[in-house]
């Protein structure tokens, strides 16, 4: 029997930045997708998706043409075949987990990575594949294969685990020595609007940057400073002003968070200040936070959380809160009393 376990992820800093080739800070958490597989005689992969009570059958010789957008299982098979992997044996597969679906913890990327790890594991002579390569293959499947909006944070974080800083311009990752203390995740119960939020966030930020570059060809967002916001904002159309602010300021917040997390004993109060500033930009500038979730996070802060923010693209889904042992239970209760579907403590996972 083949057994594979893949974690969820939380983005702590840099939301809506990776598609601008700006860095992000994210970590894998102890919520998982599980996969178990045994050989069959069907010449197909029979996937029993237990959590949604659905069965998917994929012939091992499928050609990969006309794959529907969002069918990451068949897209993974097509991409790996392009890379020279071969499939000669069918398997019966069970998949389940405790990552909430469509909630911002990247259940889809976790499933894709579990599936890719399985497809590598069943090779007659499994090739040496790094965690970085697994993450990049998943990015090819979910973003490039379908020309979808989005970045590489989810796939790279889940594949590599740890608390990592990802330079999305190069794909290089750096494990951070610091920590964020105790963490609580809350499920809002509101369905995420991933594609529409990502599309708008990317479109407006990219257009704001392009307008600046039209008059200042040497402007590079990777070399931007806070002063650049005021210096160039007169060049940005009114409809893109909020996203121009977010592009500049969230980048600086992520760099500040990296510096704080570079120390083993991170200053949690300062990190919480950065997190709250980031969420303020997501709420007011990117406008990815429904009022219901804003109210839930305010309730968590009043109950003792020191930092809160949405997770993922936004428009619904989950939230994360920085807490301590004295406030954890009160924050969990506050989230639920404010309307959250569920709330619970999570911890960051490590490789191995």
Residue 313 lies in a domain: yes
Residue 200: C-alpha distances to residues 64, 85, 157, 324 (Å): 30, 37, 24, 36
What does the CA dihedral 45, 140, 116, 64 come to, rounded to 10 degrees?
20
Rounded Cα distance between 80 and 115, Å, is: 11
pLDDT band at residue 202 using 50, 70 and 90 as cut-offs: confident
Q: Looking at the predicted structure, is the pLDDT value of residue 65 above 80?
A: no
pLDDT band at residue 194 using 50, 70 and 90 as cut-offs: low
**pTM higher than 0.75, yes or no?**
yes
State pLDDT tens for residues 231-243: 999 999 999 999 9
* 214 and 118 fall within a common domain: no
* 236 and 311 fall within a common domain: yes
State pLDDT tens for residues 43-55: 999 999 999 999 9
Residue 194 lies in a domain: yes
Give the domain range for residue 204.
Answer: 182-346
Could you tell me if 25 and 1 are in contact, meaning their C-beta atoms sit under 8 angstroms apart?
no
Q: Which long-range contacts (CB under 8 A, 24 or more apart) does 225-229 make?
A: 225/252, 226/252
Give me 230's structure tokens.
């005021």
* 16 and 165 fall within a common domain: yes
State pLDDT tens for residues 128-164: 999 999 999 999 999 999 988 777 889 999 999 889 9
Q: Is 196 left (phi over 0), alpha (psi -120 to 50) or beta?
A: alpha
* 30 and 93 fall within a common domain: yes
Comparison of pLDDT for 315 and 31, the residue scoring more: 31
CATH for 80: 3.30.230.10
* 164 and 43 fall within a common domain: yes
* 168 and 291 fall within a common domain: no
State pLDDT tens for residues 214-268: 999 999 999 999 999 999 999 999 999 999 999 999 999 999 999 999 999 999 9
Rounded Cα distance between 318 and 201, Å, is: 18
* 154 and 249 fall within a common domain: no
Q: For residue 324, which of 336, 332, 316 has the smallest C-alpha distance?
A: 332
**Can you give the length of the chain in residues?**
352
* 102 and 215 fall within a common domain: no
Number of domains present in the structure of the chain: 2
Alpha helices in 303-337 (DSSP H): 328-337
Residue 351 lies in a domain: no
* 207 and 326 fall within a common domain: yes
* 205 and 81 fall within a common domain: no
* 159 and 298 fall within a common domain: no
* 152 and 61 fall within a common domain: yes
């Amino acid at each position: 029997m083949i057994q594979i376990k893949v974690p969820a992820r939380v983005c702590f800093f840099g939301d809506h930045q990776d598609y601008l080739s700006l860095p992000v800070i994210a970590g894998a958490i102890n919520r998982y997708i599980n996969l178990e597989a045994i050989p069959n005689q069907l010449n197909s992969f029979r996937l029993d998706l237990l959590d949604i009570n659905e069965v998917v059958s994929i012939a091992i010789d499928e050609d990969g043409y006309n794959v529907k957008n969002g069918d990451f299982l068949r897209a993974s098979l097509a991409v790996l075949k392009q890379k020279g992997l071969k499939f000669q044996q069918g398997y019966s597969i069970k998949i389940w987990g405790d990552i909430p679906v469509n909630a911002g913890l990247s259940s889809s990327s976790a499933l894709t990575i579990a599936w890719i790890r399985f497809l590598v594991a069943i090779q007659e002579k499994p090739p040496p594949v790094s965690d970085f390569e697994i993450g990049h293959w998943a990015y090819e499947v979910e973003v490039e294969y379908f020309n979808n909006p989005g970045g590489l944070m989810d796939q790279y974080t889940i594949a590599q685990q740890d608390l990592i800083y990802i330079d999305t311009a190069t794909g290089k990752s750096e494990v951070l020595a610091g920590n964020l203390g105790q963490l609580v995740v809350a499920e809002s119960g509101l369905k995420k609007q991933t594609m529409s939020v990502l599309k708008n966030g990317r479109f407006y930020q990219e257009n704001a940057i392009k307008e600046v570059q039209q008059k200042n060809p040497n402007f590079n967002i990777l070399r931007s400073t806070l002063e650049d916001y005021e210096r160039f904002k007169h060049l940005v159309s009114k409809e893109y002003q909020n996203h121009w602010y977010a592009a500049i300021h969230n980048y600086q917040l992520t760099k500040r968070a990296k510096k704080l997390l570079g120390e083993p004993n991170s200053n949690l109060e300062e990190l919480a200040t950065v997190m709250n500033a980031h969420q303020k930009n997501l709420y007011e500038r990117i406008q990815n936070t429904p009022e219901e979730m804003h109210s839930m996070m305010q309730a968590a802060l009043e109950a003792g959380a020191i930092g809160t923010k949405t997770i993922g693209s936004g428009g619904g889904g989950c939230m994360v809160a920085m807490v301590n042992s004295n406030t954890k239970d009160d924050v969990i209760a506050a989230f639920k009393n404010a309307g959250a579907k569920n709330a619970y403590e999570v911890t960051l996972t490590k490789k191995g």
